[in-house]
Structure 1
Amino acid sequence: MADNNSIATLAEPDNVAVPPQPTGKSRAFYMSFLAICVTTFLSAIDLTAVGTALPTIAEALHDNKGDFTWVGSAYALASTAFILLSGSLAEAFGRRPIVLISIAFFAIGSAIAGAAQNMNMMIAARAIQGVGGGGILALSEILVADLVPLAERGIYQGLIGLVWAFASSIGPPIGGALANANLKAWRWLFFLNLPMSGFAFVLVIVYLSVKRPEGSIRSKLAQVDWLYVFLCALRLSLIVLSGNAFVIVGSGLAIIGLTWGGIRYPWASAQVLAPLIIGLVMLAVFGVYEAKVPAYPTIPLDVIGNRTSLAGLLTTAIHSITSIAVIYYMPVYFQAALGANPLRSSVEMLPTALVISPFAFFAGAGISILKKYRGVNMLAWCFTIIALGLFTLLRDHTPTAKWVGFQVLVAAGFGMLFSAPVFPILAPLPPNRAASALALFTFTRAFFQTWGITIASTVLQNELERNLPSAFVAQFPAGYEIAYISIPVIRAMDPSDPLKGQVQAAFALSMRTVWQVMVGIAGIGLLACFLMKDVPMVNELDETYALKEAKDKKVVDVEKR
């Protein structure tokens, strides 16, 4: 492993002591940044809205086998598969065409999801959506790095956080309102993505005018890991069957083992152990393969080869696991334990969505002002750990003031962690490595969101099997996952029926275990911060992908001299 001090030294240019002053931004810059914000909004609103509507979607598509877990996991796995690929393609062919292709995939997947007639069709559609969503997320981060030096990026990273948080705040109410209307209205949750995708597509074509790298098509194709392309295509075609190779098949098989364990089959059974063990082995094979690639590896080894960047990736991974668990399973608590309908549960999630926004901005702005990021990351994890610990106190009779206050605290931590980890990842690296590092950053976030959904689902399902009254469980076929499909049943029960109160108490008790697990995982995020060093942040850009207008202006200035 490379020595962090040496890498940090290489990343510091001669003018660190007297950094160049921030340059004025052109109209082309602001319109390009607007295009980035629109694509980020598109991806974020889909993520948060689907979680609230998922119980209704599962009911409408007659999901009796618990396949609802894959509605989130299929999106995240497909997104994960194409994030690093999209980064490689953007390096070779330029940013704009890859952004446009990503938006097109997202729109096609949305149309198919809206027309889905069964859960398999929905899962396949979400996989196609994930391909586009992964590209959108990766390119949004990369484009910000292209346009803004790291030393100035805090404000703009905070603005991206604001957009993400705003989309997160309106996503749950939209999902809840559509899910609450009837068993068909939820389809508009996906159809509404189509006009927004069209708007984003036009905005990117008109305003995102960035330079494209020089070189022949052949030389550009040589920069792409085509074995990984093949595996990505294979992932897309086999997403419903959960078959693939290396990182995708490994994670897919491991997730199947975790999902089935203790629900469909005993933990010690071959049906659970076989996919779990094979999946972990495949992930190890992926790591060996990456280490042996002589050029253009999918995982940039120089990024994970220094402790500060590695610590930033670890905090990103832990943040992804814990935040997605809250986004997906707090609505379950509200609907199952407190008896809220989808619309009300989305309103009850507003403290989380609204508070994330300002804290995401303040974290980015604070880092830009202080020129230090280690303390901000540590503070964010302290908020998160305390809040998740308080979540373990939630019960079926918890007063409103408590669950609102707990959400405000966890949202403060999550909001800061939407902006803060990218700085330790990039600070030790030269500007021309930012794109590869940010693709890995986005890959890490999407990959571990999949694990966050799966871990929370597995814990909840196993706890429900243990805590729910047998009289209630008897209504469902043996071996089925009932976390989501039981919510409409609970809502339909007579409030005076003692069994309803027992079921709601059992759900709250089972959710407590989920939050206990998340507290332990969040502790790893805090420990990772101790690996970081506050490396000086440079005020330079990689001119290879700068705005064309900016380049033309520099040429004119030189000629005048």
Structure 2
Amino acid sequence: MLLFFNPKRSNKAGRGFIERLVDLDLIGNVLLLGAAVMFFLALEYTTQGMAWGSAKVIGLLAGSFLAALLFAAWQWRKGDGALMPPRIITQRTVAASCGMAFMIYAALINLTFFLPVWFQAIRGVSAMRSGVNMIPYFVVNAVFSLAAGWFVSKVGYVTPPAVIGSAVGTAGLALMTQLRVDATTVQWAGYQVLTSAGFGISIQQGFMAVQTVLREEDIAIATAAVVASQSLGAAIFLSVGNSVFQGQLIRATAARLLDGLDIKKLIDGGAASFRHLVPAEDLPAMLEIYNAALTKVFIVSVPLGALSAIISCFIEWKSVRPATRGDKEKAIQQESGEEAEKNPG
């Protein structure tokens, strides 16, 4: 690499430090981080038992919403110099790819986090055995992701696997909500394989889609936006899942379904040790309550998966095959010409 790699010299190489610093859009970064921090703090407070209607939670949510609005306005004002340039983010395929990525990761994060909890709490297995039980999920996801890539390279279009994969994955998530305390191995393994296969097909299509419709110089920003959407969806809905799960256990305590149990101690003890905190005669009832709380979390993922299938329908039908790359360039030039005619100034 050191001897033979000769990178192209950037056209910004001669610019000063201050000019480069301004290009980083520090104001946009501060607004975005502020909105995210306030939102996650609000979710964290709710998982600690604070009511959604409390002044602190409402204040944080309102502040997060205001910061998000200011961020959007600032991005629009900055134009191509923004952290997320509106010209790129509002492009149909880029927006659809970001939305699909957000929903897929939001749907899957609760499954990958809480299914091992289900294995340990309901099945009574160790953390290591729980990890072994998750192997089919990750293997199938990787295999179907590769198969989808091969399919797209042959057919040329990313929209069909994006839509079909998300629909199949959503069906798997719906089945996950039917897990019971006495679920068989065929049931829990089959449900997770169906979910993994479906989203394995669709999970990478957003990256291929943005590379198909954009100019080369815009691809990096669009790809980063898709990655950011994945991370944001996972971060937000993992907090939501925790809030739903703990809220269900707290409500069970309020309904006197867990008389004599310290719910905070039960939650802090985790899935591996909660069986030792419950009297043997109360364990069957506790397992039902714990299972109901976990399946409520899986229910949250179902509409998210369905939304990913709907949003993926808006990805443009443009081929990724090399034979049609010339058509891509012509289409981009034509769109640029139309924009120039609309905005002659």
Q: TM-score normalized by structure 1?
A: 0.53
- Counterparts of 1:207-356 in structure 2, within 5 Å, are 209=5, 211-215=7-11, 217-219=13-15, 222=19, 225=22, 228-229=25-26, 245-261=30-46, 263-356=48-141
Cα deviation per residue 1:199-223 (whole Å; 9 max; x = unaligned)?
A: xxxxxx6699462433454527535
CA gap 1:527/1:415 in 2 versus in 1, 3 angstroms: same
Pairwise CA distance, 1:266? 1.5
Task: Pick closer, same or farther for the CA change 1:206–1:406 going to 2, 3 Å.
Answer: farther
Segments of 5+ residues of structure 2 without an aligned counterpart are 327-345
Aligned partner letter, 1:349: M
For 1:210 and 1:383, how far apart are their aligned partners in 2?
46
* C-alpha distance in 2 between matches for 1:296 and 1:328: 37
Matched residue type, 2:145: A
Deviation at 1:476, TM superposition (A): 3.2
2:190 to 372, 396, 405: 405
Which deviations, in whole Å up to 9, do the C-alpha atoms of 1:174-232 show, x marking residues without a partner? xxxxxxxxxxxxxxxxxxxxxxxxxxxxxxx6699462433454527535556645886
Residue 360 in structure 1 maps to residue 145 in structure 2: yes
CA contact (8 A) 1:325 1:452 kept: yes
In the other structure, the counterpart of 1:373 is 158
Whether the 8 Å contact between 1:310 and 1:425 is mirrored in structure 2 is no
Which of these residues, 169, 176, 182, is aligned with residue 384 of structure 1? 169
C-alpha distance in 1, partners of 2:8/2:86?
25
Contact 1:313 1:425 in 2 (8 A): no
Q: Which moved more, 1:363-372 or 1:422-431?
A: 422-431
Task: Please report how far the alpha carbon of residue 493 of structure 1 lies from its aligned counterpart in structure 2 after TM superposition.
Answer: 4.9
> 294, 308, 319: which is aligned to 1:525?
308
Report the equivalent of 2:320. 537
Choose the corresponding residue for 1:476, options 248, 259, 264.
264
Alignment equivalent of 1:419, drawn from 196, 199, 204? 204
8 A contact 1:331–1:346 mirrored in 2: yes
Letter in 2 for 1:369: K
1:338 partner letter: R
- Decide whether aligned partners of structure 1 residues 269 and 493 sit closer, same or farther in structure 2, where only a CA change above 3 A counts: closer
Residue aligning to 1:62: none
Q: Is the 8 A contact 1:308 1:533 kept in 2?
A: yes
1:454 matched to 2:245? The reply is no
CA drift of 1:411 comes to 0.6
Distance 1:467-1:525 versus aligned 2 partners, 3 A rule: same
Contact 1:472 1:503 in 2 (8 A): no
Indicate conservation of the 8 Å contact 1:263/1:462, yes or no: no
- The separation in 2 between residues aligned to 1:376 and 1:438, in whole angstroms, is 19
- Structure 1 residues not aligned, in runs of 5+: 1-204, 233-244, 542-561
Tell whether the 8 Å contact from 2:159 to 2:316 is kept in structure 1 after alignment.
yes
- Is this contact kept in 2: 1:249–1:282, CA < 8 A? yes
Following superposition, the deviation at residue 472 of structure 1 comes to 5.8
The residue number in structure 1 matching 2:330 is none
Q: Which moved more, 1:356-365 or 1:417-426?
A: 417-426
Residue 191 of structure 2 aligns to a residue whose secondary structure is helix
Q: Deviations over 1:472-491 (max 9, x none)?
A: 642636xxxx5453324324
Work out which of the residue numbers 286, 294, 303 in structure 2 matches 1:503: 286
Partner Cα distance (2:225, 2:260) in 1:
45
The amino acid of 1:470's aligned partner reads L
The 2-side partners of 1:226 and 1:486 are apart by 46
What do the CA deviations read for 1:403-460 (whole angstroms, capped 9, x no partner)? 0000100110221233212122232212221111111111111122211211211111
Counterpart contact for 1:303–1:425, Cα < 8 Å: no
CA distance in 2, matches of 1:310, 1:350: 33
> How far apart in 1 are the matches of 2:86 and 2:310?
22
Q: Deviations over 1:17-49 (max 9, x none)?
A: xxxxxxxxxxxxxxxxxxxxxxxxxxxxxxxxx
Corresponding residue for 2:339?
none
- 1:398 CA drift (Å): 0.9
1:527 aligned counterpart, secondary structure: helix
Tell me, what secondary structure is at the counterpart of 1:385?
helix
**Residue 297 (structure 2) aligned to one of 514, 522, 527:** 514
Number of aligned residue pairs: 320
8 Å contact kept, 2:167–2:305: no
SS in 1 for 2:259: helix
Check 1:395–1:318 CA distance in 2 against 1; reply closer, same or farther (3 A cut): same
**Structure 1: how far apart are the matches of 2:2 and 2:186?**
48
Contact 1:460 1:483 in 2 (8 A): no
CA distance in 1, matches of 2:274, 2:231: 32
> What secondary structure sits across from 1:387 in the alignment?
helix
| Same amino acid, percent of matched pairs | 18
| Aligned mates of 2:299, 2:318 — CA distance in 1 | 34
**Matched-pair contact (CA < 8 Å) for 1:321–1:449:** yes
Deviation of the 1:337 alpha carbon: 2.0
Secondary structure of the equivalent of 1:533?
coil
- Superposition RMSD on alpha carbons, in Å? 2.6
Give how far 1:537 is off.
2.8
